[in-house]
Amino acid sequence: DQQVKQNSPSLSVQEGRISILNCDYTNSMFDYFLWYKKYPAEGPTFLISISSIKDKNEDGRFTVFLNKSAKHLSLHIVPSQPGDSAVYFCAASALQRTSGSRLTFGEGTQLTVNP
């Protein structure tokens, strides 16, 4: 039962253009969403997050959009840079105040930014 899905295993964009990574979820209890970036042989690093009470959060070149009715979120990177090439994971949490913030991850999207 894949509660968080990233349907695109890979995405290739030109440097300077916009990268749009998509994520869908099925569990209505999820109330916090995160994007992680992962380089080979390293652990995931936190990129940006959004609470379910918002529909947009922006941090520099990175913007996350949340559409609760569609159970869909997306990560926009603009302008894309070659250093952004990595695997991007979408993750979701149903904050359980008695048990901490367990995350459910999507399968990841390999982003390649071509110079």
Partner 1 sequence: NAGVMQNPRHLVRRRGQEARLRCSPMKGHSHVYWYRQLPEEGLKFMVYLQKENIIDESGMPKERFSAEFPKEGPSILRIQQVVRGDSAAYFCASSPPVGTGYGYTFGSGTRLTVV
Among residues 74, 85, 93, 112, the one that binds partner 1 under rule CB under 8 A: 93
Among 7, 10, 81, 101, interactor with partner 1 by CB under 8 A: 101
Binding to partner 1 by residue 112, rule CB under 8 A?
Answer: no
Say whether residue 108 binds partner 1 (CB under 8 A). yes
CA 67, 68, 74, 77 torsion: positive or negative?
A: positive
Distance CA(86)–CA(83), nearest Å, equals 8
Cα(27)–Cα(30) distance, rounded to whole angstroms? 6
**By CB under 8 A, which span of 10-18, 35-43, 62-70, 72-80 interacts with partner 1?**
35-43
